[in-house]
Structure formats: C-alpha cells, structure tokens
Structure 1
Amino acid sequence: MHEAIPFLPVPVAITCLLFNIFIPGSGTIISGFSALCMGQPRINMKEGRKLITLVVNLLVGISQFFTITFLFVGWFWSIAWGGLLIIHSMQYREALQQRRQEAVATAAIEALTKDSILHRRDVKTLVKSHKKSKK
C-alpha cells in the first residue's frame, strides 16, 4: 500500500498535505488524481501503474475519511500519508536534479573529448583569418 504514494511535484504534495489536515482523505484522493497527469507512480508493475495508484489512493482516502470517528485514526493516518507524500516528492526532486547534473556533465565531457573541438583554432585566430580573407 505504501508503494501507492506517488512522486508528485513538491507544491502539489504540500497542497495535498494541507487538504489532508483540514479534510482527512481529501488530499490522498487528490494525490491519486494528480499522479495521472503530473506525477510518477511508485508501483513496480509493467502495465496499469497509474490506474492502480489512482484506485489505491482513492480507497485509502475514503478509508481515512470514514475512520475519523474512530478515535481520530483517519485524521492521523491522512496527516502521515501527506507527510510521506512530501518526503517522497522531495526525494524524487533531488534524484531528478542529480540526473540532470549527470547528463550535463556527460554532455560536457563528450563535447570536450571530441577531436573536432580539441583541434579547432581559437576565436582570435578565426577572426584574424576572416579579416585577412576579406581584404
């Protein structure tokens, strides 16, 4: 069931937590729908990952709402679920930033190691040769 907590953008995860604080279960349901269009599911399946994430979050959200009357279990559960949303979203954001940095570093190394770039003349000599060719 914990795998159903999707990776969402951090502002969306914070919004879902706030909804879970005020109306338990509502933020969980919103997170399920948000996973369809702007999030990434964490479920390890080949097909139907987003649909399963939606259904599980919908069922968990309804369960959170209906267990409010039982010693506020649903309220605490929904706040914990919202906190996990934020934690997973921040971890996902950090992983994306690290992947982007690695991609930029790889591209820079590839650009520097190509023979055509290493053997090019510097800009000053190119400008001088261009001026000479015009004269």
Structure 2
Amino acid sequence: MEPLQKNAETAAVALAVADPQGASSSSGVVVQVREKKGPLRAAIPCMPFLVAVTCLFLNTFVPGLGTFVSAFTVLCGARTELPERHVCCVFWLNIAAALIQILTAIVMVGWIMSIFWGMDMVILASEWGMPYLDPAWMWE
C-alpha cells in the first residue's frame, strides 16, 4: 500500500505546485519523459550541423555510409552521450552500426535504420547548438 500512497502524495504535491490557488485544473501536472538510449544509439556523435546533414544525405542514398563517416568524427573529437567510454570503443560502436545498416539494407531494414540514424545526427547537431563551420567548438 505504501507505493500507492507515495504516488498519491507526489501527485498532490505536483498539483499544488502547478496550481497554488487551489483551483482544480486538468493541465496542472507537468510530466517529463526521458528516453533511455542503448549504447549503440548513445554512440551517435554530435557533429557540426552541415556535417550531420551531409551524413544524413549519404545515409539516404548509400545505407551506412554516413554512419561510417560519422564514426571518424568521433576520432576527431566529436562528443557523444557515452563520455565514460574510450574514444576507440565509441568509434567501433559506430562502425558496428554502419555494418549493421549495410548488411541489412538488402531487406530494407538497414536502409530505414540508416535514414533514422542520419535524422538523429541532425537532431543532435541542432539540439546541442554546434557551430556550422567553426572547428574550435571541440576545444571549448
């Protein structure tokens, strides 16, 4: 019974914080969702925006090629969501993702995965706000 009581208390506190006047409102609770990424997905490097768009373009027409190119940006200092792993490990995770995309492109799965991978690269580049052509962002 205790977990249910905690959930009710948490909901009551969240409602009180969202609406301090006490008026009941259905839009008063804020829910935050955080995606949990596996190591292969977390190894996608954050590159400058134009490089990410180029990798998306390459992945669209030759599955795995943009992912293969992005693996080398890790060796050049591109950040990933796996800071505790060594650069070589992250590099090989990206190479493995590229090989999976190339080998499964025959049955269309790899081609679709490759396009989504490229879209994730562009999303990461736009979210992290990397400069377009300035390589000095790596040493800041």
TM-score (norm 1): 0.63
Q: Which structure 2 segments of 5+ residues have no match? A: 1-39, 131-140
Greater displacement, 26-35 / 77-86: 26-35
What SS does the corresponding residue of 2:112 show, helix, strand or coil? helix
Say whether 1:6 aligns with 2:45.
yes
Per-residue CA shift, 1:1-55, capped at 9, x if unaligned?
Answer: 211111111111001001101110010011010121141122141x51x212210
| Number of equivalent positions | 91
Which entry has the higher C-alpha Rg, 1 or 2?
A: 1
Q: Report the RMSD for the aligned CA atoms in angstroms.
A: 1.3
Q: Which structure 1 segments of 5+ residues have no match? A: 95-135
Say whether 1:90 aligns with 2:90.
no
Per-residue CA shift, 1:56-83, capped at 9, x if unaligned?
Answer: 110110110110112x000000000000
Per-residue CA shift, 1:95-131, capped at 9, x if unaligned?
Answer: xxxxxxxxxxxxxxxxxxxxxxxxxxxxxxxxxxxxx
What CA distance in whole angstroms lies between the structure 2 residues aligned with 1:24 and 1:65? 6
Alignment CA distance shift 1:10-1:38 (3 Å): farther
What CA distance in whole angstroms lies between the structure 2 residues aligned with 1:39 and 1:8? 6
TM-score (norm 2): 0.61
Q: Which residue identity does 2:124 align to in structure 1?
A: H
- 5 Å-filtered alignment, 1:4-43, equals 4-43=43-82
Identity over aligned pairs, percent: 33
Q: Is the 8 A contact 1:9 1:38 kept in 2?
A: no
Q: Which residue identity does 1:66 align to in structure 2?
A: L
Q: Which runs of 4+ in 1 moved over 2 A?
A: none
What CA distance in whole angstroms lies between the structure 1 residues aligned with 2:60 and 2:97? 15
Q: Which residue identity does 2:52 align to in structure 1?
A: A
